Amino acid sequence: MPHHATPQHPPAVRKILSRPRVVAACAAVAALALLLSAAPAAEDPSRWHSYLVGPLPGGTREETVVAAAVAGSFAVAAAAAASPSPTGAPLSSLGETNLSGEIEPTPAPSMFLVPSPSPAENFDDGSMEEPERPEIKGNPPKDPAPLLQEPISTGLPTMGSDVNEEHDMDRKPVLPVRLKQAPLWSTAADEELIYAKKDITNAPLTLDDPDLYAPLFRNVSMFKRSYELMERLLKVFIYHDGAKPIFHSPELKGIYASEGWFMKLMEANQNFVVRDPNRAHLFYLPYSSRQLEHNLYVPGSNTMEPLSIFIKNYIDMISAKYPYWNRTKGADHFIIACHDWGPYTTKLHDELRKNTIKALCNADLSEGIFIRGKDVSLPETFLRAPRRPLRDIGGRPVAQRTILAFFAGQMHGRVRPVLLKYWGDKDADMRIYSRLPHRITRRRNYVQHMKSSKYCICPMGYEVNSPRIVEAIYYECVPVIIADNFVLPFDDALNWSAFSVVVPERDVPKLKDILLAIPESQYITLQSNVKRVQKHFLWHPNPIKYDIFHMILHSVWFSRVNQMQID
């Protein structure tokens, strides 16, 4: 019988192709073929890979594909198969398992890219707005999430005394929802969350706390107890995967500063962050929606699909590489996204869209993506000076606020043109402008107008969110919010009727009458409460108790606590 020579493989390949691994490799390569055949022809997987995990390893393309497939990393395998034999640093890893079973994270290699110039402009009115492209956001799904069940009236869906009093901006009753499926296995962190939920429900009565002004809150006793438990118990694990600038690269200036400041402060935090994911109650996915647009959007393409594909690939990689996503189908993971496109970039990954806690500036109930009671409305904060985030905070006393209402800005969206039509240059009490004319800014600029006005008009733009809401609070001007279907920031805890005025879009023609109908004594109370609530919206380089960093984290914590099932 003729003798057939045994093919010789390099030592590294012989080690990979042991019998148990061959079976896994074959299955992985089969799945890889399906992935590649279904992938868009124009997509360059090596581009996604460089952001997700850094440069591909050395060696031949075939060896890299097999090694990646055996490890279960299909996203990496697809990138290796499609890219031309690259060289560079070895594949990054979140960590290696030691004998005790704990995971010790190791940082992924960074890939520093030079971001493209921002299209944002600084206008004469002192505000900064970025012209968005609403036509490219596509058609986000409107159907209710099948993984979610009907809301229930037990537990703590909000901190209001009566859940039946919850309404959206159209005053329609809205109740939060909770996940139906149970986690694949329980952890000690789950038990702590269940304990926290019971304890918050039975919170002791809070009287005269000098740090918390009760009228600002739906239920100050529940908030205080929930916050105390967060400080004592909460542990957050941050994934180290992903290369700069999309990951781990906070932008600290402009209207998207909320996501950048939270990322910066969260990654530097020593009280909540843990290295062992088995101890975590929450898992943070540290990417920037602003940097997604900055680095992946193709100008003139009129599609954000590359951004959505990138996020889907990232979540697929996380769920294939680590067991934590799959345990809850992403329900204990969260993102922080302030860019208007943030919600729409999640729509290609069902579990991310339906289960993950999304802290979004664009908290729009009408789009079918933001889920009230699970997702978190993120304040949009416009910071002009990152090194001095508290610059210009404050305003004039009530007696020196001589302007009834003020607005200046671009004519974005459906509300602002109507506002200008009815009130632009038509009434001395209503200072409504598209942009502040130079003849006016010579005497009083944008910030000085806000500091001198009783009410600051905060209409939606292309999307429901507006940085003017927090700006008004900074300058101690009562915000007048005009954006139907908008879930206001920290609505799980704060009583917005105590320090703001919400006007339906249809009532813009009656705006002056609405404001004049507010008694002077009530206005004084509103303005005083604006000054009191201000501390909950301030960024500090070193976070302090009850500031905006802790309020955002508390809303995410409270959402996760609320998901827990109590037998």
Predicted local distance difference test score (pLDDT) of residue 158: 56
Could you tell me whether strands 376-377 and 357-360 are parallel, antiparallel, or unpaired per DSSP bridges?
parallel
pTM summary value? 0.76
The DSSP symbol for 167 reads: B
| pLDDT tens figures, 492-528 | 999 999 999 999 999 999 999 999 999 999 999 999 9
| pLDDT tens figures, 306-342 | 999 999 999 999 999 999 999 999 999 999 999 999 9
Q: Is 306 within 8 Å of 296 (Cβ atoms)?
A: yes
**Side by side, which strands form the sheet with 282-284?**
236-238, 282-284, 333-337, 357-360, 376-377
Which residue in 141, 159, 533 sits closest to 373, CA to CA? 159
Distance CA(155)–CA(224), nearest Å, equals 17
Predicted local distance difference test score (pLDDT) of residue 566: 83
| pLDDT tens figures, 250-289 | 999 999 999 999 999 999 999 999 999 999 999 999 999 9
Report helix, strand or coil for 466: coil
Per-state percent for the chain, helix, strand, coil, to nearest 5: 40, 10, 50
Residue 135: how many CB atoms within 10 A of its CB? 9
Q: What Å distances lie between residue 226 and 193, 324, 338, 360, 398, CA to CA?
A: 11, 25, 25, 21, 35
- The residue whose two tokens read 């986000």 is 140
Greater confidence (98 vs 407) lies with 407
Distance CA(377)–CA(363), nearest Å, equals 5
pLDDT interval class at 2 (50, 70, 90): very low
pLDDT interval class at 351 (50, 70, 90): very high
Q: Is 308 within 8 Å of 301 (Cβ atoms)?
A: no
